[in-house]
Each structure stands twice: as C-alpha cells, then as structure tokens.
Amino acid sequence: MNLTVIDHPLARHYLTVLRDQETAPEEFRNAARRLTYSLVMEATRRVPLEKSRIQSPLEETAGYELGSVAAVAVLRAGLGMLDAVLDLIPEVKVGFAGVQRNEETAEPMEYYAKMPNLEDASVLILEPMLATGGSLSWAVTKTKESGARDVTCLCVVTAPEGVKRMYEDHPDTQIVAAALDRELNDQYYIVPGLGDMGDRLFGTF
C-alpha cells in the first residue's frame, strides 16, 4: 500500500479552511469540494488512457480517452467529496457504502450498500476521515466483493492508526490524502483533525 500526502498550496489552503472551527457549513462544503479536486487529480494519475485520433481545426492529431472510473462514497461524509468527482469525471459510475461507527468500539456497522459493477474500473473510494480505518477497510472489502481490482482511497485527513490498519488489511490499495495527522484521541477523533466531517458538512451539531 502506498500513502501519498499532497502538498499543493491550494490543498493546504483549503485544508486550513476545513480545520478552522469558525468555518460555517456552506463554506466548509465549498472548501471540501475544492480540496477534493486536487485529490482526484493525484488519485487518477494512473488511470488507463485509450489512444484515439481526432481532428483539430488544423489537422488530425492524437487524442486520449479516459478509461472506466467508478467512485464509492462512504456515507455520509464522503458525499462532501462527490461533486468534485462528478464534475471532473462526468461518466463516473457511483456507488454508496453506508456505515455507522459503533461509538463504543469504533468498529463499522453496515446499514446500506449499493455498488455498480467495478470489475474493469479504476475505483476511487471517498472517505474523508481515515481514523481507526474500520470504515475504510470495510468499504474496500465491499468494493472488492463487487469486482474491484484497482482501488484508490481519497481522504482529507488520515491518522497513523488508520493508515497502519489499511497497510495490514489492504496492502494492495493506494491512499491519497491532504494530511497525515498526529493521532486519535480517546473518542477516536483525529487530532488535530477537523472535528466530525459529516456534522460540519451538514450542520448537524
């Protein structure tokens, strides 16, 4: 498994907006979407291209067509990353993975899963907060059950504990993130982190 932490100035700027406790939900959603553009650019670096020939206004030239891409949004915080993916890759097939954290054990409990056929697609899993790794590991397993072979996880903030778990459970996946933070606290929140991503996106405090 490979973790790539992007250090683009725009990504750092929008991550700062997300971390700031004064950021209200509308601005938070905008910053999450804008940050996700840079995650998608990095995560799709190795998506296969098919060569084509096209006619420019001046002459025939080489072109490239993007291979099949699918995204799986882990509910509900992953929804905050979906618009950027749909905007950059309008043909993307989208699945949803509903998982709830057991507040005592922090282990994932499935409540919804709807996957497209993922067999020949480059799969992007949208899970902004990689904390214990329970939800993301579960989501990767679900995508593999639907045929996924090429999986890249897009995270806003990761914690060492979650990264370690992903190394153990899914050594064949990639992670692209905007930050690797210090640790989890005793309530399994990432610190310094940005709080509860779902609550901050949707104003459910």
Of 39, 92, 197, 201, which one interacts with ligand URA (CB under 6 A)? 197
Residue 105 among the catalytic residues: yes
Residue 101 among the catalytic residues: yes
Catalytic residue among 20, 105, 120, 149: 105
- Confirm if 156 and 128 have CB atoms less than 8 A apart: yes
CA nearest 45: which of 161, 164, 159, 174? 174
Which of these segments, 59-67, 68-76, 146-154, 192-200, binds ligand URA (CB under 6 A)?
A: 192-200
Of the pair 6, 194, the CB lying nearest ligand URA is at: 194
Task: Answer yes or no whether residue 131 interacts with ligand URA by CB under 6 A.
Answer: yes
What residues contact residue 65 under an 8 Å CB cut-off, 6+ apart?
Answer: 49, 50, 52
Binding-site size, ligand URA (CB under 6 A) = 9
One-letter amino acid of 71: A
**What is the spatial distance between Cα 60 and Cα 53, in angstroms, rounded to a whole number?**
7
Q: Is 47 helix (H, G, I), strand (E, B) or coil?
A: coil
Catalytic residue among 33, 101, 141, 169: 101
Task: Answer yes or no whether residue 189 interacts with ligand URA by CB under 6 A.
Answer: yes
Residue 167 phi/psi, 5-degree rounding, is -60, -40
Residue 196 among the catalytic residues: yes
Task: Answer yes or no whether residue 129 interacts with ligand URA by CB under 6 A.
Answer: yes
**What is the spatial distance between Cα 149 and Cα 138, in angstroms, rounded to a whole number?**
15
Task: Answer yes or no whether residue 81 interacts with ligand URA by CB under 6 A.
Answer: no
Annotated catalytic residues are 101, 105, 196, 199
Residues that bind ligand URA (CB under 6 A): 77, 129, 131, 189-190, 193, 196-198
